[in-house]
Structure 1
Amino acid sequence: MPDALDDRDRLLGGFVERPPLKRYAAAYAEHFAIHRNSGVVEIRMHSKGGPAVFSRGLLNAWGRVLAEAGADPDNEVLIITGTGPQWMAGIDPRSFAEPLSQWPGDLLYEQYSDGARLLESLVLGIDVPTIGVLNGPGPRQELALICDITLGADDVVIADGNFAAGSVPGDGMYLALEELLGTKRAARLAYTGEGIDAATALRWGVVNEVLPSDQLTHRAHRLAETIMATPPHLPPAHPRGRQPPMATPDHRGTAQRICTATPREQWHVEPVRWTRVGQALALPRTPRHKQRTKPYEEPRHRR
Protein backbone atom coordinates (compact mmCIF):
# COMPACT_ATOMS: atom_id res chain seq x y z
CA MET A 1 0.00 0.00 0.00
CA PRO A 2 2.66 2.64 0.84
CA ASP A 3 4.43 1.91 -2.49
CA ALA A 4 1.19 2.53 -4.36
CA LEU A 5 0.72 5.80 -2.49
CA ASP A 6 4.26 6.89 -3.30
CA ASP A 7 3.69 6.13 -6.99
CA ARG A 8 0.47 8.14 -6.98
CA ASP A 9 2.18 11.09 -5.27
CA ARG A 10 4.95 11.15 -7.85
CA LEU A 11 2.50 10.82 -10.73
CA LEU A 12 -0.09 13.37 -9.67
CA GLY A 13 1.70 15.63 -7.20
CA GLY A 14 -0.02 18.01 -4.80
CA PHE A 15 -0.24 15.57 -1.88
CA VAL A 16 0.97 16.62 1.56
CA GLU A 17 3.84 14.48 2.81
CA ARG A 18 2.78 11.75 5.22
CA PRO A 19 4.52 11.76 8.61
CA PRO A 20 7.65 9.56 8.50
CA LEU A 21 8.33 7.54 11.64
CA LYS A 22 11.82 8.98 12.01
CA ARG A 23 10.38 12.48 12.32
CA TYR A 24 7.65 11.85 14.88
CA ALA A 25 9.76 9.36 16.84
CA ALA A 26 12.31 12.15 17.36
CA ALA A 27 9.66 14.77 18.09
CA TYR A 28 8.11 12.73 20.91
CA ALA A 29 11.27 11.09 22.20
CA GLU A 30 10.90 12.81 25.59
CA HIS A 31 7.77 10.77 26.27
CA PHE A 32 7.93 7.74 23.96
CA ALA A 33 10.34 5.22 22.53
CA ILE A 34 8.95 4.35 19.09
CA HIS A 35 10.24 1.66 16.77
CA ARG A 36 8.80 -0.39 13.93
CA ASN A 37 9.63 -3.80 12.52
CA SER A 38 7.89 -5.27 9.48
CA GLY A 39 4.82 -3.09 9.90
CA VAL A 40 4.44 -3.59 13.65
CA VAL A 41 5.02 -0.31 15.48
CA GLU A 42 5.55 -0.19 19.25
CA ILE A 43 4.96 3.00 21.23
CA ARG A 44 6.46 2.64 24.69
CA MET A 45 5.93 5.53 27.09
CA HIS A 46 8.65 6.49 29.56
CA SER A 47 9.98 9.31 31.72
CA LYS A 48 13.75 9.79 31.43
CA GLY A 49 14.09 6.17 30.33
CA GLY A 50 12.23 4.73 33.33
CA PRO A 51 8.55 4.11 34.07
CA ALA A 52 6.35 6.93 32.81
CA VAL A 53 5.00 9.54 35.23
CA PHE A 54 1.63 10.95 34.25
CA SER A 55 1.78 14.66 33.53
CA ARG A 56 -0.07 17.26 31.54
CA GLY A 57 2.74 17.13 28.98
CA LEU A 58 2.40 13.36 28.57
CA LEU A 59 -1.37 13.61 28.15
CA ASN A 60 -0.90 16.25 25.46
CA ALA A 61 1.73 14.18 23.69
CA TRP A 62 -0.34 10.98 23.66
CA GLY A 63 -3.13 12.40 21.54
CA ARG A 64 -0.71 13.98 19.11
CA VAL A 65 1.56 10.96 18.66
CA LEU A 66 -1.43 8.68 18.05
CA ALA A 67 -2.71 11.05 15.40
CA GLU A 68 0.65 10.94 13.61
CA ALA A 69 1.04 7.18 13.98
CA GLY A 70 -2.46 6.71 12.59
CA ALA A 71 -1.60 8.80 9.54
CA ASP A 72 1.49 6.71 8.74
CA PRO A 73 0.50 3.99 6.23
CA ASP A 74 3.60 1.95 7.11
CA ASN A 75 2.09 1.20 10.54
CA GLU A 76 -0.02 -1.95 10.19
CA VAL A 77 -0.31 -3.14 13.80
CA LEU A 78 0.11 -0.86 16.84
CA ILE A 79 1.42 -1.97 20.26
CA ILE A 80 1.10 0.40 23.23
CA THR A 81 2.96 -0.29 26.46
CA GLY A 82 4.90 1.22 29.37
CA THR A 83 8.45 0.89 30.65
CA GLY A 84 9.73 -1.44 33.34
CA PRO A 85 7.49 -3.01 35.98
CA GLN A 86 4.87 -0.22 36.01
CA TRP A 87 2.34 1.05 33.50
CA MET A 88 2.79 4.46 35.12
CA ALA A 89 4.78 5.38 38.20
CA GLY A 90 2.32 7.85 39.66
CA ILE A 91 1.46 11.45 38.81
CA ASP A 92 3.75 14.44 38.37
CA PRO A 93 2.95 16.75 41.32
CA ARG A 94 4.04 19.85 39.41
CA SER A 95 1.35 19.34 36.77
CA PHE A 96 -1.46 19.49 39.30
CA ALA A 97 0.05 21.53 42.13
CA GLU A 98 -2.28 24.43 41.37
CA PRO A 99 -5.96 23.77 42.19
CA LEU A 100 -8.17 23.41 39.14
CA SER A 101 -10.29 26.29 40.39
CA GLN A 102 -7.32 28.59 39.75
CA TRP A 103 -6.55 27.40 36.22
CA PRO A 104 -7.19 29.89 33.40
CA GLY A 105 -10.00 28.92 31.08
CA ASP A 106 -7.67 28.22 28.15
CA LEU A 107 -5.65 25.71 30.18
CA LEU A 108 -8.78 23.97 31.42
CA TYR A 109 -10.11 23.67 27.90
CA GLU A 110 -6.81 22.26 26.66
CA GLN A 111 -6.77 19.71 29.49
CA TYR A 112 -10.27 18.55 28.56
CA SER A 113 -9.45 18.60 24.84
CA ASP A 114 -6.29 16.54 25.37
CA GLY A 115 -8.23 13.91 27.28
CA ALA A 116 -10.94 13.73 24.63
CA ARG A 117 -8.40 13.67 21.82
CA LEU A 118 -6.59 10.76 23.46
CA LEU A 119 -9.41 8.26 23.09
CA GLU A 120 -10.62 9.86 19.87
CA SER A 121 -7.22 9.38 18.26
CA LEU A 122 -7.09 5.73 19.32
CA VAL A 123 -10.67 4.69 18.58
CA LEU A 124 -11.39 6.72 15.47
CA GLY A 125 -7.95 7.68 14.18
CA ILE A 126 -6.17 4.31 14.21
CA ASP A 127 -7.43 2.10 11.38
CA VAL A 128 -5.19 -0.87 12.19
CA PRO A 129 -5.37 -3.49 14.96
CA THR A 130 -4.12 -2.33 18.35
CA ILE A 131 -2.60 -4.27 21.24
CA GLY A 132 -2.46 -2.69 24.69
CA VAL A 133 0.10 -4.04 27.15
CA LEU A 134 -0.52 -3.19 30.81
CA ASN A 135 2.98 -4.06 31.95
CA GLY A 136 2.21 -3.31 35.61
CA PRO A 137 0.12 -1.19 37.97
CA GLY A 138 -0.45 2.52 37.50
CA PRO A 139 -3.10 5.15 36.69
CA ARG A 140 -4.69 6.11 33.36
CA GLN A 141 -5.17 2.57 32.10
CA GLU A 142 -7.96 3.40 29.65
CA LEU A 143 -5.60 3.65 26.70
CA ALA A 144 -4.57 0.00 27.00
CA LEU A 145 -8.08 -1.19 27.85
CA ILE A 146 -9.65 0.35 24.76
CA CYS A 147 -7.21 -1.44 22.44
CA ASP A 148 -8.55 -4.37 20.42
CA ILE A 149 -6.43 -6.83 22.44
CA THR A 150 -5.23 -6.15 25.99
CA LEU A 151 -2.53 -8.07 27.84
CA GLY A 152 -2.01 -7.58 31.56
CA ALA A 153 0.79 -8.27 34.01
CA ASP A 154 -0.02 -10.64 36.85
CA ASP A 155 0.38 -7.82 39.39
CA VAL A 156 -1.79 -5.26 37.60
CA VAL A 157 -4.78 -3.73 39.41
CA ILE A 158 -7.59 -2.18 37.38
CA ALA A 159 -9.16 0.80 39.13
CA ASP A 160 -10.69 4.26 38.66
CA GLY A 161 -9.41 6.58 41.36
CA ASN A 162 -11.05 9.81 40.21
CA PHE A 163 -13.94 9.92 42.68
CA ALA A 164 -11.78 8.95 45.66
CA ALA A 165 -9.36 11.75 44.71
CA GLY A 166 -12.14 14.34 44.59
CA SER A 167 -12.50 14.43 40.81
CA VAL A 168 -15.44 13.56 38.59
CA PRO A 169 -15.52 9.93 37.38
CA GLY A 170 -16.72 10.27 33.83
CA ASP A 171 -13.63 10.52 31.68
CA GLY A 172 -11.84 7.85 29.68
CA MET A 173 -11.22 5.35 32.48
CA TYR A 174 -14.83 5.24 33.64
CA LEU A 175 -16.11 4.99 30.08
CA ALA A 176 -13.70 2.16 29.30
CA LEU A 177 -14.83 0.28 32.42
CA GLU A 178 -18.49 0.90 31.64
CA GLU A 179 -18.05 -0.46 28.13
CA LEU A 180 -16.13 -3.54 29.27
CA LEU A 181 -17.85 -4.31 32.59
CA GLY A 182 -21.28 -2.78 32.32
CA THR A 183 -22.78 0.12 34.24
CA LYS A 184 -23.20 -1.61 37.61
CA ARG A 185 -19.68 -2.91 37.99
CA ALA A 186 -18.14 0.26 36.59
CA ALA A 187 -20.16 2.45 38.97
CA ARG A 188 -19.13 0.34 41.96
CA LEU A 189 -15.45 0.68 41.09
CA ALA A 190 -15.83 4.41 40.48
CA TYR A 191 -17.70 5.17 43.72
CA THR A 192 -15.63 2.97 46.02
CA GLY A 193 -12.19 3.43 44.45
CA GLU A 194 -11.66 -0.30 44.78
CA GLY A 195 -9.67 -2.19 42.19
CA ILE A 196 -9.80 -5.64 40.64
CA ASP A 197 -6.74 -7.84 40.44
CA ALA A 198 -5.39 -9.42 37.27
CA ALA A 199 -7.19 -12.74 37.79
CA THR A 200 -10.54 -10.99 38.20
CA ALA A 201 -9.83 -8.73 35.22
CA LEU A 202 -9.21 -11.82 33.11
CA ARG A 203 -12.33 -13.56 34.39
CA TRP A 204 -14.50 -10.48 33.75
CA GLY A 205 -13.10 -9.96 30.26
CA VAL A 206 -11.25 -6.69 30.90
CA VAL A 207 -8.01 -8.21 29.61
CA ASN A 208 -7.44 -11.06 27.18
CA GLU A 209 -4.39 -12.63 28.79
CA VAL A 210 -2.44 -12.36 32.06
CA LEU A 211 1.29 -13.07 32.05
CA PRO A 212 4.40 -12.25 34.09
CA SER A 213 5.52 -8.75 33.15
CA ASP A 214 8.75 -9.93 31.55
CA GLN A 215 6.79 -12.04 29.03
CA LEU A 216 4.26 -9.45 27.92
CA THR A 217 6.22 -7.64 25.21
CA HIS A 218 7.29 -10.90 23.56
CA ARG A 219 3.70 -12.16 23.61
CA ALA A 220 2.39 -8.89 22.15
CA HIS A 221 4.80 -9.12 19.22
CA ARG A 222 3.89 -12.74 18.61
CA LEU A 223 0.23 -11.75 18.42
CA ALA A 224 1.14 -8.93 16.06
CA GLU A 225 3.01 -11.38 13.83
CA THR A 226 -0.06 -13.63 13.75
CA ILE A 227 -2.19 -10.69 12.65
CA MET A 228 0.33 -9.69 9.99
CA ALA A 229 0.44 -13.25 8.65
CA THR A 230 -3.30 -13.27 7.96
CA PRO A 231 -4.08 -12.42 4.33
CA PRO A 232 -6.04 -9.20 3.85
CA HIS A 233 -9.75 -9.85 3.48
CA LEU A 234 -11.37 -6.42 3.71
CA PRO A 235 -11.65 -3.69 1.06
CA PRO A 236 -8.30 -2.18 0.10
CA ALA A 237 -9.25 1.15 1.66
CA HIS A 238 -7.87 -0.24 4.93
CA PRO A 239 -4.15 -0.96 5.39
CA ARG A 240 -3.62 -4.63 4.50
CA GLY A 241 -7.39 -5.02 4.73
CA ARG A 242 -7.29 -5.28 8.54
CA GLN A 243 -9.83 -3.04 10.20
CA PRO A 244 -9.92 -3.00 14.02
CA PRO A 245 -13.20 -4.17 15.58
CA MET A 246 -13.84 -0.85 17.34
CA ALA A 247 -13.71 0.95 13.99
CA THR A 248 -16.31 -1.21 12.27
CA PRO A 249 -19.77 0.29 11.61
CA ASP A 250 -21.37 -1.85 14.35
CA HIS A 251 -19.11 -0.22 16.94
CA ARG A 252 -19.14 3.35 15.62
CA GLY A 253 -21.89 4.33 18.04
CA THR A 254 -19.87 2.99 20.96
CA ALA A 255 -16.75 4.72 19.72
CA GLN A 256 -18.54 8.03 19.33
CA ARG A 257 -20.02 7.75 22.83
CA ILE A 258 -16.62 7.01 24.34
CA CYS A 259 -15.09 9.97 22.55
CA THR A 260 -17.83 12.54 23.11
CA ALA A 261 -19.16 11.80 26.60
CA THR A 262 -18.12 14.39 29.16
CA PRO A 263 -18.18 14.57 32.96
CA ARG A 264 -21.15 16.91 32.67
CA GLU A 265 -23.11 14.28 30.74
CA GLN A 266 -22.11 11.51 33.12
CA TRP A 267 -23.24 13.43 36.16
CA HIS A 268 -26.21 15.28 34.67
CA VAL A 269 -25.15 18.65 36.04
CA GLU A 270 -25.86 22.02 34.48
CA PRO A 271 -23.35 23.24 31.88
CA VAL A 272 -20.76 25.70 33.14
CA ARG A 273 -18.47 28.21 31.49
CA TRP A 274 -14.91 27.09 30.99
CA THR A 275 -13.73 29.86 33.31
CA ARG A 276 -15.65 28.12 36.09
CA VAL A 277 -15.06 24.51 35.12
CA GLY A 278 -12.19 24.19 37.60
CA GLN A 279 -14.56 24.86 40.46
CA ALA A 280 -17.11 22.53 38.93
CA LEU A 281 -14.64 19.66 38.71
CA ALA A 282 -13.28 20.28 42.20
CA LEU A 283 -16.67 20.21 43.95
CA PRO A 284 -18.31 16.95 45.01
CA ARG A 285 -21.23 15.86 42.89
CA THR A 286 -24.65 14.70 43.97
CA PRO A 287 -25.48 11.26 42.53
CA ARG A 288 -28.43 11.24 40.16
CA HIS A 289 -30.71 9.28 42.50
CA LYS A 290 -30.30 12.01 45.15
CA GLN A 291 -30.79 14.99 42.84
CA ARG A 292 -34.02 16.91 43.00
CA THR A 293 -35.79 17.08 39.70
CA LYS A 294 -38.77 19.15 38.61
CA PRO A 295 -41.97 17.29 37.76
CA TYR A 296 -42.69 16.93 34.09
CA GLU A 297 -44.75 19.74 32.62
CA GLU A 298 -46.44 19.77 29.24
CA PRO A 299 -44.81 22.37 26.98
CA ARG A 300 -46.84 25.48 26.41
CA HIS A 301 -47.56 26.27 22.80
CA ARG A 302 -48.48 29.68 21.51
CA ARG A 303 -51.84 29.92 19.83
Structure 2
Amino acid sequence: MASILLRRPRAANRVNLRMAEELALACAAINQDDAIRCVMLSGSGDVFSAGWETPPVTPAAGLSRYQAAIAIASLHAPVVAAINGDAIGQGLELALAADLRIAASTAHFAMPQVGHGLLPWDGGTQRLARIVGRAYALELLLTGETVDAATALRMGLVNRLAPPQELRQAVDAVVGQVIAAAPIAIRYAKEAVRDGAELALAQGLRLEADLTILLQGTKDRAEGIRSFMERRPAVFRGE
Protein backbone atom coordinates (compact mmCIF):
# COMPACT_ATOMS: atom_id res chain seq x y z
CA MET A 1 0.00 0.00 0.00
CA ALA A 2 1.07 3.56 -0.68
CA SER A 3 0.02 6.44 1.53
CA ILE A 4 -0.46 10.05 0.44
CA LEU A 5 -0.71 12.53 3.30
CA LEU A 6 -1.87 16.13 2.82
CA ARG A 7 0.52 17.69 5.27
CA ARG A 8 -0.02 21.38 5.90
CA PRO A 9 -1.76 21.21 9.28
CA ARG A 10 -1.14 24.86 10.16
CA ALA A 11 -2.90 25.85 6.94
CA ALA A 12 -5.74 23.31 7.35
CA ASN A 13 -4.08 21.25 4.60
CA ARG A 14 -5.07 23.81 1.99
CA VAL A 15 -3.75 23.00 -1.46
CA ASN A 16 -1.14 25.31 -2.94
CA LEU A 17 0.92 25.05 -6.11
CA ARG A 18 3.73 23.17 -4.41
CA MET A 19 1.34 20.58 -2.98
CA ALA A 20 -0.36 20.14 -6.36
CA GLU A 21 3.00 19.56 -8.03
CA GLU A 22 4.12 17.13 -5.33
CA LEU A 23 0.85 15.21 -5.62
CA ALA A 24 1.37 14.87 -9.36
CA LEU A 25 4.91 13.56 -8.85
CA ALA A 26 3.84 11.15 -6.12
CA CYS A 27 1.00 9.74 -8.20
CA ALA A 28 3.26 9.31 -11.23
CA ALA A 29 5.75 7.38 -9.08
CA ILE A 30 2.99 5.18 -7.64
CA ASN A 31 1.77 4.32 -11.14
CA GLN A 32 5.27 3.06 -11.98
CA ASP A 33 5.19 0.51 -9.15
CA ASP A 34 2.96 -2.47 -9.93
CA ALA A 35 3.57 -3.85 -6.43
CA ILE A 36 1.33 -1.13 -4.98
CA ARG A 37 -2.16 -2.58 -4.72
CA CYS A 38 -3.96 0.25 -2.95
CA VAL A 39 -3.44 3.92 -2.12
CA MET A 40 -4.68 5.70 1.00
CA LEU A 41 -5.25 9.46 0.84
CA SER A 42 -5.60 11.34 4.12
CA GLY A 43 -5.03 14.70 5.77
CA SER A 44 -2.89 15.56 8.77
CA GLY A 45 -4.35 16.97 11.95
CA ASP A 46 -8.10 17.39 12.37
CA VAL A 47 -8.92 18.52 8.82
CA PHE A 48 -8.83 16.61 5.55
CA SER A 49 -8.40 19.76 3.47
CA ALA A 50 -9.99 23.20 3.62
CA GLY A 51 -9.53 23.78 -0.10
CA TRP A 52 -7.25 25.97 -2.17
CA GLU A 53 -4.98 28.52 -0.56
CA THR A 54 -5.23 31.19 -3.26
CA PRO A 55 -7.24 30.29 -6.37
CA PRO A 56 -5.68 31.19 -9.74
CA VAL A 57 -7.64 34.04 -11.28
CA THR A 58 -6.25 34.46 -14.80
CA PRO A 59 -5.71 32.17 -17.78
CA ALA A 60 -2.01 32.99 -17.49
CA ALA A 61 -1.97 31.21 -14.14
CA GLY A 62 -2.06 27.91 -16.04
CA LEU A 63 -5.08 26.32 -14.41
CA SER A 64 -3.94 22.75 -15.09
CA ARG A 65 -0.91 23.25 -12.83
CA TYR A 66 -3.24 23.74 -9.88
CA GLN A 67 -5.53 20.78 -10.57
CA ALA A 68 -4.43 18.20 -8.04
CA ALA A 69 -7.46 15.89 -8.24
CA ILE A 70 -6.59 14.76 -11.75
CA ALA A 71 -3.41 13.16 -10.39
CA ILE A 72 -5.43 11.21 -7.81
CA ALA A 73 -7.95 10.12 -10.44
CA SER A 74 -5.15 8.92 -12.74
CA LEU A 75 -3.90 6.31 -10.27
CA HIS A 76 -4.24 2.73 -11.54
CA ALA A 77 -4.57 1.23 -8.06
CA PRO A 78 -7.75 1.81 -6.04
CA VAL A 79 -7.66 4.94 -3.89
CA VAL A 80 -9.29 5.02 -0.46
CA ALA A 81 -9.76 8.48 1.03
CA ALA A 82 -9.60 8.54 4.82
CA ILE A 83 -11.50 11.76 5.44
CA ASN A 84 -10.35 12.58 8.94
CA GLY A 85 -12.05 15.98 9.10
CA ASP A 86 -13.68 18.69 7.04
CA ALA A 87 -13.35 18.47 3.25
CA ILE A 88 -14.15 21.86 1.77
CA GLY A 89 -13.92 23.18 -1.78
CA GLN A 90 -10.92 21.74 -3.55
CA GLY A 91 -10.38 19.52 -0.53
CA LEU A 92 -13.68 17.83 -1.34
CA GLU A 93 -12.68 17.68 -5.00
CA LEU A 94 -9.59 15.68 -3.98
CA ALA A 95 -11.77 13.27 -2.02
CA LEU A 96 -14.12 12.89 -4.99
CA ALA A 97 -11.18 11.72 -7.11
CA ALA A 98 -10.74 8.71 -4.80
CA ASP A 99 -12.56 5.44 -5.46
CA LEU A 100 -13.82 4.94 -1.91
CA ARG A 101 -14.41 7.55 0.78
CA ILE A 102 -14.50 6.66 4.47
CA ALA A 103 -15.14 9.63 6.72
CA ALA A 104 -14.97 10.49 10.38
CA SER A 105 -18.46 10.94 11.78
CA THR A 106 -17.50 14.49 12.77
CA ALA A 107 -16.47 15.58 9.26
CA HIS A 108 -18.25 18.26 7.24
CA PHE A 109 -18.41 18.77 3.49
CA ALA A 110 -19.04 21.78 1.26
CA MET A 111 -18.55 23.24 -2.20
CA PRO A 112 -18.76 26.96 -1.38
CA GLN A 113 -17.07 28.28 -4.52
CA VAL A 114 -20.09 30.05 -6.04
CA GLY A 115 -20.27 32.24 -2.95
CA HIS A 116 -16.84 33.57 -3.93
CA GLY A 117 -17.71 34.07 -7.59
CA LEU A 118 -15.95 30.84 -8.57
CA LEU A 119 -16.72 27.37 -9.84
CA PRO A 120 -15.16 24.14 -8.63
CA TRP A 121 -12.34 23.79 -11.15
CA ASP A 122 -10.62 20.56 -10.12
CA GLY A 123 -13.27 18.20 -11.45
CA GLY A 124 -15.83 18.98 -8.77
CA THR A 125 -18.81 19.75 -11.00
CA GLN A 126 -18.28 16.58 -13.00
CA ARG A 127 -17.29 14.04 -10.35
CA LEU A 128 -19.83 15.27 -7.81
CA ALA A 129 -22.75 14.75 -10.21
CA ARG A 130 -21.47 11.31 -11.19
CA ILE A 131 -21.16 10.24 -7.55
CA VAL A 132 -24.28 11.68 -5.90
CA GLY A 133 -26.48 12.42 -8.90
CA ARG A 134 -27.53 15.69 -10.50
CA ALA A 135 -30.06 16.76 -7.84
CA TYR A 136 -27.73 16.48 -4.85
CA ALA A 137 -24.81 17.89 -6.85
CA LEU A 138 -26.76 21.00 -7.80
CA GLU A 139 -27.99 21.39 -4.23
CA LEU A 140 -24.43 21.43 -2.92
CA LEU A 141 -23.04 23.55 -5.75
CA LEU A 142 -25.77 26.19 -5.97
CA THR A 143 -26.28 26.73 -2.25
CA GLY A 144 -22.72 26.22 -1.03
CA GLU A 145 -24.33 24.54 1.96
CA THR A 146 -22.19 22.64 4.45
CA VAL A 147 -23.46 19.13 5.20
CA ASP A 148 -22.52 16.85 8.05
CA ALA A 149 -21.18 13.33 7.75
CA ALA A 150 -24.55 11.64 8.22
CA THR A 151 -26.03 13.69 5.38
CA ALA A 152 -23.00 12.96 3.20
CA LEU A 153 -23.54 9.24 3.79
CA ARG A 154 -27.22 9.51 2.88
CA MET A 155 -26.33 11.37 -0.32
CA GLY A 156 -23.78 8.75 -1.31
CA LEU A 157 -20.98 11.29 -1.04
CA VAL A 158 -19.10 8.92 1.28
CA ASN A 159 -19.20 5.13 1.51
CA ARG A 160 -18.87 4.65 5.25
CA LEU A 161 -18.56 6.53 8.52
CA ALA A 162 -16.52 5.76 11.60
CA PRO A 163 -15.95 7.51 14.93
CA PRO A 164 -12.83 9.69 14.62
CA GLN A 165 -10.79 7.47 16.91
CA GLU A 166 -11.74 4.39 14.86
CA LEU A 167 -11.31 5.88 11.38
CA ARG A 168 -7.86 4.44 10.69
CA GLN A 169 -9.01 1.00 11.81
CA ALA A 170 -12.02 1.19 9.48
CA VAL A 171 -9.85 2.32 6.57
CA ASP A 172 -7.26 -0.38 7.22
CA ALA A 173 -10.00 -3.02 7.15
CA VAL A 174 -11.18 -1.89 3.71
CA VAL A 175 -7.63 -1.54 2.39
CA GLY A 176 -6.90 -5.05 3.65
CA GLN A 177 -9.83 -6.42 1.67
CA VAL A 178 -8.62 -4.69 -1.48
CA ILE A 179 -5.04 -5.87 -1.05
CA ALA A 180 -6.15 -9.46 -0.44
CA ALA A 181 -7.97 -9.64 -3.77
CA ALA A 182 -6.37 -10.35 -7.15
CA PRO A 183 -4.62 -7.08 -8.12
CA ILE A 184 -5.16 -7.38 -11.87
CA ALA A 185 -8.85 -8.12 -11.36
CA ILE A 186 -9.08 -5.17 -8.97
CA ARG A 187 -7.55 -2.80 -11.52
CA TYR A 188 -9.78 -4.12 -14.29
CA ALA A 189 -12.85 -3.71 -12.07
CA LYS A 190 -11.88 -0.08 -11.47
CA GLU A 191 -11.29 0.44 -15.19
CA ALA A 192 -14.60 -1.18 -16.13
CA VAL A 193 -16.61 1.04 -13.79
CA ARG A 194 -14.64 4.24 -14.39
CA ASP A 195 -14.41 4.03 -18.16
CA GLY A 196 -17.66 2.15 -18.69
CA ALA A 197 -19.63 4.91 -17.00
CA GLU A 198 -18.63 7.24 -19.85
CA LEU A 199 -19.80 4.80 -22.55
CA ALA A 200 -23.13 3.71 -23.94
CA LEU A 201 -24.38 0.54 -22.23
CA ALA A 202 -23.54 -1.71 -25.17
CA GLN A 203 -20.00 -0.35 -25.31
CA GLY A 204 -19.63 -0.68 -21.55
CA LEU A 205 -20.71 -4.31 -21.71
CA ARG A 206 -18.17 -4.91 -24.46
CA LEU A 207 -15.44 -3.37 -22.30
CA GLU A 208 -16.48 -5.61 -19.40
CA ALA A 209 -16.34 -8.68 -21.65
CA ASP A 210 -12.94 -7.73 -23.07
CA LEU A 211 -11.44 -7.27 -19.62
CA THR A 212 -12.94 -10.57 -18.47
CA ILE A 213 -11.32 -12.36 -21.41
CA LEU A 214 -7.96 -10.75 -20.64
CA LEU A 215 -8.17 -12.03 -17.06
CA GLN A 216 -8.56 -15.63 -18.17
CA GLY A 217 -4.92 -15.81 -19.24
CA THR A 218 -3.47 -14.56 -15.95
CA LYS A 219 -1.74 -16.68 -13.34
CA ASP A 220 -3.93 -15.04 -10.71
CA ARG A 221 -7.04 -16.42 -12.41
CA ALA A 222 -5.52 -19.92 -12.35
CA GLU A 223 -4.63 -19.46 -8.68
CA GLY A 224 -8.20 -18.38 -7.96
CA ILE A 225 -9.52 -21.62 -9.46
CA ARG A 226 -6.94 -23.78 -7.68
CA SER A 227 -7.53 -22.18 -4.30
CA PHE A 228 -11.28 -22.66 -4.67
CA MET A 229 -10.90 -26.33 -5.54
CA GLU A 230 -8.40 -26.86 -2.72
CA ARG A 231 -10.50 -24.88 -0.24
CA ARG A 232 -7.71 -22.57 0.82
CA PRO A 233 -7.08 -18.82 0.71
CA ALA A 234 -5.75 -17.65 -2.63
CA VAL A 235 -2.26 -16.18 -2.91
CA PHE A 236 -2.30 -13.62 -5.70
CA ARG A 237 0.91 -12.21 -7.19
CA GLY A 238 -0.41 -9.81 -9.79
CA GLU A 239 0.66 -12.00 -12.69
- TM-score with structure 2 setting the length: 0.72
Structure with more of its chain in helix, by fraction: 2
Contact 1:148–1:244 (CA under 8 A) maintained in structure 2: no
1:127 pairs with 2:76: yes
Q: Which runs of 5+ in 1 are unaligned?
A: 1-39, 233-238, 257-303
Question: Once the two structures are superposed, what CA deviation does each residue of 1:169-188 show, in whole Å capped at 9, x if it has no partner?
Answer: 45422222111121222112
Name 1:185's counterpart in structure 2. Answer: 136
CA distance in 1, matches of 2:110, 2:50: 15
Counterpart residue type for residue 251 of structure 1: R
Counterpart residue type for residue 199 of structure 1: A
Q: Secondary structure at the match of 1:127?
A: coil
CA distance in 1, matches of 2:104, 2:57: 33
Which structure: larger Rg?
Answer: 1
Counterpart residue type for residue 62 of structure 1: L
Shift of 1:254: 4.4
Match of 2:24 among 63, 72, 91: 63
Residue 89 to residue 207, structure 1, CA distance change in 2 (3 Å): closer
Q: Secondary structure at the match of 1:80?
A: strand
Q: Secondary structure at the match of 1:81?
A: strand
Name 1:259's counterpart in structure 2. Answer: none
Name 2:37's counterpart in structure 1. Answer: 76
Q: Please, what is the CA RMSD of the aligned residues?
A: 2.6
Q: Identify the structure with bigger relative contact order (alpha carbons < 8 Å, sequence gap 6+).
A: 1
Q: Secondary structure at the match of 2:147?
A: strand
Counterpart residue type for residue 153 of structure 1: A
Match of 2:57 among 78, 87, 100: 100
1:247 pairs with 2:198: no
Residue 112 to residue 229, structure 1, CA distance change in 2 (3 Å): closer
Contact 1:149–1:207 (CA under 8 A) maintained in structure 2: yes
- The within-5 A match list for 1:5-24 is none
Runs (4+) of structure 1 moved beyond 4 Å? Answer: 48-51, 253-256
Counterpart residue type for residue 121 of structure 1: A
Contact 2:129–2:137 (CA under 8 A) maintained in structure 1: yes
Counterpart residue type for residue 81 of structure 1: S
Match of 1:52 among 13, 37, 48: 13
Counterpart residue type for residue 201 of structure 1: A
Shift of 1:78: 0.8
Shift of 1:112: 2.5
Shift of 1:240: 4.7
CA distance in 1, matches of 2:154, 2:57: 38
- TM-score with structure 1 setting the length: 0.58
Counterpart residue type for residue 185 of structure 1: Y
Aligned-pair identity (%): 22
Q: Secondary structure at the match of 1:163?
A: helix
1:155 pairs with 2:106: yes
Contact 1:180–1:205 (CA under 8 A) maintained in structure 2: yes
CA distance in 2, matches of 1:255, 1:59: 26
Counterpart residue type for residue 77 of structure 2: V
Contact 2:87–2:110 (CA under 8 A) maintained in structure 1: no
Residue 47 to residue 255, structure 1, CA distance change in 2 (3 Å): farther
